[in-house]
């Protein structure tokens, strides 16, 4: 009887030892360098696709910590909204309406849903609207970028482009605009170089109500402005590995997709640098990034690099709590199927990963939204968070497109002074000439 009582103790001890060892392996500490030899340290802390990049030796992660607190970087409009917007808005058919009247609001300042219960079936929708409005608190912005095609053999070609945004909600300044037509934002995507495709532009008007986006495209080869279907936003943008709706993780209409319940996990995610980066004020009173910003070095640029040519090689990777938002397009002609966004659990603007499946349900590609950083003015009175670059990795074709945004040669402008008429159809046609 006594012998039987302790017969399984060695097995139990061995089992506990194995479990403790696995648990110890599946975690990271500041200073760790994680590669294909010790990839189990980040098992469970990354999307499966990104973990696979580490296992293959494509990515090497240097674990670090930030010397600033992203949770404490809030625009004043956002801080006020945490109180004044409580109960002010609700969702109806996936859209924001005023809680008292049921009407589509003309203006929203700060976060429309300051209190989100993750167990609420509409939590993902509320989080996405918060994320949208958080970004809009930066006002109008001009964001230049370089799309770089990178294959397994290295650099292939590049295109210069710019994203111009004119939001009609989010900031205090937006309340000064007449928005009786209930516009969420106007935006333009411009292709600036090379010569053969320069002048290709896309204009979008997005509405707060249930109207579909109005999109117009100009192609220099035919010298015509033509109406585009909203489904065109899922087409590959000028031959890259991403589409227009991949902007900011998901730049499509929030009510145009079906959202699943939210999951909360801990993850390892990339930032641009451990320290804030500088903002400078322009002569017009705008705020802009500077040429002193940290430059991301990619695998194809680093001598002796053995990993993927598109991998960023000098980023700090940080542990953060994240929320996984899963969604699927309602449009049967949309090119993507189920997608996931891994967003910061505390700061609604920050998206770290986008996982994309095709319409048949098979995994297709992952977009790494890296280079996230705090930008701050010299007196620290203007502070906000912004993303630096995208790396869209098509694992099916072993190819990637780097969208190089914040960099010494690409100066982004925030709270930009713009003429709203530029976003009218006539203004767009004039821009395209």
Specify the length of the chain in residues. Answer: 433
Instruction: DSSP letter for 16, please.
Output: H
Gyration radius (Cα) of the chain, Å:
23
- Sorted by where each starts, the structural domains of the chain and their CATH numbers stand as 2-59 (no CATH), 141-156+224-432 (2.50.20)
H/E segment holding residue 328: strand 316-329
**Spatial distance between the Cα atoms of 369 and 249, rounded to a whole number of angstroms:** 7
> How much is the pLDDT for 43?
97
Measured in degrees and rounded to the nearest 5, phi and psi for residue 61 equal: -110, 125
* Segment 221-262, tens digit of pLDDT: 778 888 988 778 899 988 999 998 999 899 999 999 999 999
**Spatial distance between the Cα atoms of 121 and 364, rounded to a whole number of angstroms:** 27
What residue has token string 């770290």? 352
**Spatial distance between the Cα atoms of 180 and 105, rounded to a whole number of angstroms:** 9
Going from the first residue of the chain to its last (433 residues), give the mean pLDDT of each consecutive group of 10, the final group possibly shorter. Answer: 40 41 66 98 98 98 96 89 97 97 97 96 97 94 96 97 96 95 96 90 95 91 82 88 93 95 97 96 96 96 97 97 97 95 90 97 96 92 90 97 93 96 92 80
> How much is the pLDDT for 25?
52
Residues in contact with 261: Cβ distance below 8 Å, sequence separation at least 6, in sequence order: 121, 123, 124
pTM of the shown model: 0.91
Q: Cα dist. 111→34, 80, 89, 128 in Å?
A: 37, 9, 10, 10
């Amino acid at each position: 009887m006594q012998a039987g009582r302790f017969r399984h103790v060695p097995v139990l001890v061995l089992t506990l030892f194995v479990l403790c060892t696995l648990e110890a392996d599946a975690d990271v500490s500041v200073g760790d360098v994680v590669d294909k030899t010790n990839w189990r340290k980040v098992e469970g802390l990354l999307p499966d696709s990104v973990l696979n990049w580490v296992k293959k030796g494509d990515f090497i992660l240097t674990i670090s910590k930030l010397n600033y607190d992203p949770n404490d970087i809030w625009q004043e409009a956002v801080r006020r909204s945490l109180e004044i917007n409580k109960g002010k808005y609700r969702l109806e058919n996936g859209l924001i309406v005023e809680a008292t009247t049921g009407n589509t609001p003309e203006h929203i300042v700060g976060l429309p849903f300051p209190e989100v219960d993750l167990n609420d079936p509409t939590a993902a929708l509320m989080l996405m609207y918060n994320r949208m409005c958080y970004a809009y608190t930066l006002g109008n912005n001009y964001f230049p970028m370089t799309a770089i095609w990178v294959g397994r053999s290295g650099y292939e070609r590049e295109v210069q482009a710019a994203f111009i945004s004119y939001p009609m909600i989010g900031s205090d300044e937006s309340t000064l605009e007449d928005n009786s037509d209930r516009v969420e934002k106007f935006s333009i995507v411009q292709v600036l170089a090379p010569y053969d495709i320069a002048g290709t532009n896309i204009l979008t008007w997005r509405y707060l109500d249930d109207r579909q986006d109005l999109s117009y495209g100009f192609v220099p080869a035919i010298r015509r402005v033509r109406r585009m279907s909203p489904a065109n936003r899922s087409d590959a943008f000028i031959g890259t590995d991403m589409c227009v709706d991949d902007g900011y993780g998901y730049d499509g209409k929030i009510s145009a997709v079906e959202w699943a319940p939210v999951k909360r996990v801990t993850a390892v995610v990339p930032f641009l640098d451990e320290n804030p980066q500088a903002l400078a004020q322009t002569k017009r009173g705008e705020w802009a990034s500077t040429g002193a910003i940290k430059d991301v070095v990619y695998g194809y640029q680093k001598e002796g690099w053995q990993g993927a040519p598109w991998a960023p090689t000098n980023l700090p990777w940080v542990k953060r709590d994240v929320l996984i938002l899963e969604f699927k397009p309602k449009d049967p002609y949309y090119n993507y199927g189920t997608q996931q966004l891994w967003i910061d659990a505390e700061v609604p603007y920050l998206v770290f990963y986008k996982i994309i499946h095709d319409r048949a349900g098979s995994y297709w590609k992952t977009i790494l939204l890296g280079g996230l950083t705090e930008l701050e003015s010299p007196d620290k009175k203007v502070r906000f968070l912004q993303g630096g670059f995208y790396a869209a990795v098509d694992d099916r074709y072993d190819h990637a497109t780097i969208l190089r945004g914040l960099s010494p040669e690409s100066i982004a402008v925030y709270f930009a002074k713009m003429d709203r008429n530029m976003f009218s159809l006539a203004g767009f046609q004039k821009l395209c000439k």
